[in-house]
Amino acid sequence: MKEDLNFLHMDLDAFFASVEELENPKLKGHPMVVGGRSDRGIITTANYEARKYGLHSAMPIFMAKQLCPNVIIVPTRHNLYREKSDEVFKIINDYSTKIEQMSIDEACIDISHIDADPVKLAKHIQKNVYQKTGLTLSIGISYNKSLAKLASDWNKPNGVFVIRKNMVPKILEDLPIERIAGIGQKTKEKLNAFGVYKVSELLELSFSFLKKNFGKQGEVIYNRIRGIDNRVVETTRIRKSLGIERTFSKDVDKASELVKLLKNFAEELSKDLKKRNILGHTITLKIKFNNFETITRSMTLENPTNEFKEIYLKAYYLLRTVDIKRPIRLLGLTSSNLVDDNIIQLSLWNLDEFNSNNKRK
Ligand code: TTP
Ligand code: MG
């Protein structure tokens, strides 16, 4: 039976701390937190060794020191985490065009177009991200968004967990209510005041009771704990352009050579666009001469394209409008004004092959 396990939620493990460990491997194996410089600061995250002592995000540093006197405190470096996060998302982008980034280290990915076993896919993603960045992540898979998120937390670190239709609501019953997406601090306190702490107790409340006391949110909660969540993955990372730019080791001064390079660029660009299932409306040529003078020429097409021939012909036309008066040190070819192809067939890691080797059961 093909289940609708179309939501994959990923969350990096102890993200800031893991990045710091990559930068300074000596930190590995020691309880360590990333956080403010003074005792009045708070922890942004704790590595898994420090978590054994009860240290966690949002805990004041002075308290962390009391609980774990040997804890190493590393100051926060946001730019570094941002860069690492971008690296991870670049890898994830190759799996799906529908990715919703929820935070710096977390995303929900629509995998409905991937006809492979979702667990094998999750392991493929984990291995790929680990090999390229050294970071580990945990993945949850389910038939809706909130359950996929919940599942990503189930087996941390480096885990994969699937919540299937026939597991709900049983699997949720023992959870504290705040684990349900949509139950924030305020709602939690209000529900606690009604004597409700666990999902099993929440399941006993009627739809009308929840609606009367919590309004629209009450409806949402009633549905979520029964596995109903119709939200789709909202694409948040929209690529604006895709292109190739290269500075040559030796300036190019022959027109024939330049045309040959342009052809290669068009070929490469077309392949890249096709892999990502995107089409571009605008083609831009960029040339930098050996005196660093730079010119760009653009052309917008009526219909977007990712076809090599079309890209090449337009790029060639643009090249002919340029007065090539000096040797050239840099050439660039970019496609922008991008649109989704909608028909998702391929991906950078050869989705077709992956699908046929790893069929869903
Ligand atoms: P989380 O994914 O919540 O935590 P984490 O990645 O450190 O650990 P886990 O393995 O449980 O996923 O948050 C991601 C990063 O966001 C985290 O590394 C640091 C930062 N952060 C804060 O700055 N303040 C906070 O209160 C939390 C929760 C996280
Ligand atoms: Mg995380």
- Residue 115's pLDDT is what? 85
Average pLDDT for 1-11 = 86
* Kind of pairing between the strands at 72-74 and 43-46: unpaired
How many angstroms is it from 82 CA to the middle of ligand 1? 13
pLDDT of residue 9 exceeding 60 = yes
User: 62-66, 78-82, 337-341: which has the highest mean pLDDT?
Assistant: 62-66
Residue 86 and residue 72 share a domain: no
pLDDT of residue 261 exceeding 60 = yes
- Residue 276's pLDDT is what? 75
Give the end of a domain, one of 77, 92, 115. 77
How many angstroms is it from 13 CA to the middle of ligand 2? 5
Each residue's pLDDT tens digit, 20-53: 999 999 999 999 999 976 666 889 999 999 999 9
Cα of 263 vs its chain's centroid, Å? 33
Other Cβ atoms less than 10 A from the Cβ of 137: the count is 27
- Residue 2's pLDDT is what? 52
Nearest bound ligand to CA 57?
1
- One DSSP character per residue, 83-108 reads HHHHHHHHHHTTT-S-EEEEETTEEE
Nearest bound ligand to CA 80?
1
144 inside domain: yes
84 inside domain: yes
From 16, 19, 45, 88, give the residue whose CB has the most ligand 1 atoms within 8 Å, as the site to mutate: 45
- Residue 338's pLDDT is what? 80
- Residue 342's pLDDT is what? 46
253 inside domain: yes
Residue 111 and residue 48 share a domain: no
Report residues near ion ligand 2: CB below 5 Å.
11-12, 15, 105
- Residue 353's pLDDT is what? 67
How many angstroms is it from 140 CA to the middle of ligand 2? 12
Give the end of a domain, one of 77, 110, 129. 77
Compute the C-alpha angle 187/189/195, nearest 5°: 110
Residue 292 and residue 218 share a domain: no
User: In total, how many domains does the chain have?
Assistant: 4
Residue 60: which of 77, 80, 37, 78 has the closest Cα?
A: 37
pLDDT of residue 126 exceeding 50 = yes
| 92 or 39, greater pLDDT | 92
Peptide bond into 157 cis (omega under 30): yes
Which residue blocks in 134-228 are alpha helix, DSSP H? 145-152, 185-193, 199-202, 207-224
How many angstroms is it from 10 CA to the middle of ligand 2? 8
Nearest bound ligand to CA 47?
1
Residue 63 and residue 36 share a domain: yes
Give the end of a domain, one of 77, 101, 126. 77
Residue 216 and residue 158 share a domain: no
Residue 159 and residue 143 share a domain: yes
CATH number at residue 112: 3.30.70.270
What is d(CA 75, CA 69) in angstroms, rounded to the nearest whole number? 17
Tokens representing 68?
Answer: 């774990």
Residue 183 and residue 103 share a domain: no
Sequence letter at residue 31: P
pLDDT of residue 167 exceeding 90 = yes
- Residue 324's pLDDT is what? 87
- Residue 343's pLDDT is what? 34
Average pLDDT for 86-103 = 90
Average pLDDT for 109-132 = 94
- Residue 3's pLDDT is what? 74
2 inside domain: no
Residues having CB closer than 6 A to ligand 1 are 11-16, 44-45, 57-58, 104-106, 156-157
The ligand 1 atom at the shortest distance from the C-alpha of residue 48 is 10
- Residue 274's pLDDT is what? 87
Residue 190 and residue 157 share a domain: no
- Residue 259's pLDDT is what? 96
Residue 83 and residue 120 share a domain: yes
Other Cβ atoms less than 10 A from the Cβ of 25: the count is 9
Residue 305 and residue 248 share a domain: yes
Phi, psi of 277 (to 5 degrees): 55, 45
Confidence category of residue 116, pLDDT binned at 50, 70, 90: confident
Q: Which residue is closest in CA terms to ligand 1's atom 4?
A: 14
* Residues noted as catalytic: 106
How many angstroms is it from 343 CA to the middle of ligand 2? 32
355 inside domain: no
Q: Which residue is closest in CA terms to ligand 1's atom 7?
A: 14
- Residue 39's pLDDT is what? 63
pLDDT of residue 344 exceeding 50 = no
Each residue's pLDDT tens digit, 268-277: 999 988 877 7
Region of 185 on the Ramachandran plot (φ > 0 left; ψ -120 to 50 alpha; else beta): alpha
Each residue's pLDDT tens digit, 135-156: 999 999 999 999 999 999 999 9
Does the model's pTM come out above 0.75? no
CATH number at residue 220: 1.10.150.20
Residue 258 and residue 190 share a domain: no
Each residue's pLDDT tens digit, 310-341: 999 999 999 999 988 899 999 999 998 887 66
351 inside domain: no
From 44, 61, 89, give the residue whose CB has the most ligand 1 atoms within 8 Å, as the site to mutate: 44
Residue 332 and residue 286 share a domain: yes
pLDDT of residue 214 exceeding 60 = yes
Range of the domain at 275: 241-346
What is d(CA 270, CA 250) in angstroms, rounded to the nearest whole number? 26
247 inside domain: yes
293 inside domain: yes
CATH number at residue 294: 3.30.1490.100
CATH number at residue 59: 3.40.1170.60
Q: Which residue is closest in CA terms to ligand 1's atom 28?
A: 57
Each residue's pLDDT tens digit, 222-256: 999 999 999 999 887 556 788 998 889 899 999 89
The ligand 1 atom at the shortest distance from the C-alpha of residue 43 is 24
What is the overall mean pLDDT for the chain?
91
Average pLDDT for 165-180 = 97
